Amino acid sequence: MLYKFIEKNLSGNWRSADRLVDNERPVERIAPQIIQAVSVEDEQPLISSLVNKFLEEKSARLAPKTLLGYKTDLAIFQNNIDDVPINKFRVTDLNDFRDKLKVLPKHNNKTGVPISATRANNIIGSLSAFMGWCKDLGYIETNIALNKKIPVPKNEGVRDRFSDEQLLMIFSHDRFKNPDKKKMYHYWVPILAYYHGMRLNEICLLRRQDIYQHGDVWAISINEDSRDLKTESSKRNIPIHDDVIQLGFLDYANSCNHEFIFKTNRKGDNYADTIGKSFGRFKTSLGFPKNIVFHSFRHVFADLCKQQRIELSLIKEFIGHSKSDVFLDTYAMRYSPDVLKRDLLDKIEFTVSLCW
């Protein structure tokens, strides 16, 4: 290189000589800058914050009763865990929570009999809905509460139908022989459940305009207006049994001068609360076991239909049960009240008659 440098200088080409020197200088290395990656984990909101957002979003779309269920279940969840960022809640934390549910007392701040596995699974179901919502919004990658229910003992939560003897004890009671004019729901609600297999909340939310005439058949419209219906299939129009009409239900419904046929001192938005608790006390006074509840009327109705070998699609549509046949559910029209009366209601042989 030295010879080349001298040669360039002698020839008077100084610029070339300078460039030659520059090209041979060692390259100056710049130390790389370490850029700290932003941790998504550190930025996730606390569980309490997301629960509030979840409930706020759901409040615009859910029925009050359903929303209250979420609030209650998620409050139990929060009271039994640490309030950590949602993505810091691990499977081990979930398992600890499930273990706590197994021994959680039925009543707050009290010791005693724990909640049932069915109730615990309802809470886990609400938690799964919440965590699924968090996953959809990108707060977590996996819904760890999905399919994490607690095994239910074989006979737990099984609700039996009323026996014929129990039905006779109910309808021969003074409540039905000399009904209280101020509490006519004591009289009519069980009768409607017995003859139509309706759910308690469906009956308690009946209005005068829900009772109508379809041709020659009087019917009940069970629709979504003012109702917390269980499923889409719960919406239906069913005929009224002749015995119920003979007992004077149409006159009673027409005489009501308020929004709902069965006016009670309702608790919050749960219209069935007063009537349900009242019937619970009534059946306990008759000595019925715990697995006999108001819903047992629905079991009676379904069983009576089955004994008459009534077509399953008729039964499911009458009682508002979801169908299993996707094709029929999608393309077939619903049965009209007159068809349901002729092919189902009139065929049932009720073991206890109320028309004495």
| Average pLDDT for runs of 10 along the chain of length 356 | 48 50 50 45 84 93 87 95 94 94 78 83 94 94 91 67 94 94 94 96 92 95 63 76 96 90 65 86 94 94 94 93 55 84 96 81
27 occurs within a structural domain: no
Q: pLDDT at position 7, please?
A: 52
Q: Structurally, how many domains does the chain consist of?
A: 2
Q: Are residues 174 and 290 both part of a single domain?
A: yes
Element (H, E) at 300: helix 296-307
To the nearest 10°, report the CA torsion of 242, 246, 251, 253.
-50
58 occurs within a structural domain: yes
Q: Could you tell me which residues are beta bridge partners of residue 220?
A: 211, 238
2 occurs within a structural domain: no
Q: Are residues 94 and 203 both part of a single domain?
A: no
Q: Quick one: DSSP state of residue 249?
A: H
| Residue 173 lies in domain | 164-347
Round to whole Å and give the CA distance between 248 and 198.
19
116 occurs within a structural domain: yes
Closest by CA to 262, choosing from 94, 27, 354, 271, is 271
Q: Are residues 247 and 333 both part of a single domain?
A: yes
Helices (H), 148-241: 164-171, 174-177, 185-196, 200-204
159 occurs within a structural domain: no
Q: Are residues 192 and 285 both part of a single domain?
A: yes
Element (H, E) at 217: strand 217-222
Closest by CA to 205, choosing from 165, 161, 264, is 264
CATH number, position 311 = 1.10.443.10
Phi, psi (degrees; rounded to nearest 5) at 161: -85, 160
Question: pTM higher than 0.75, yes or no?
Answer: no
Q: pLDDT at position 234, please?
A: 65
Let me know: does 76 contact 123? Beta carbons within 8 Å.
Answer: yes
32 occurs within a structural domain: no
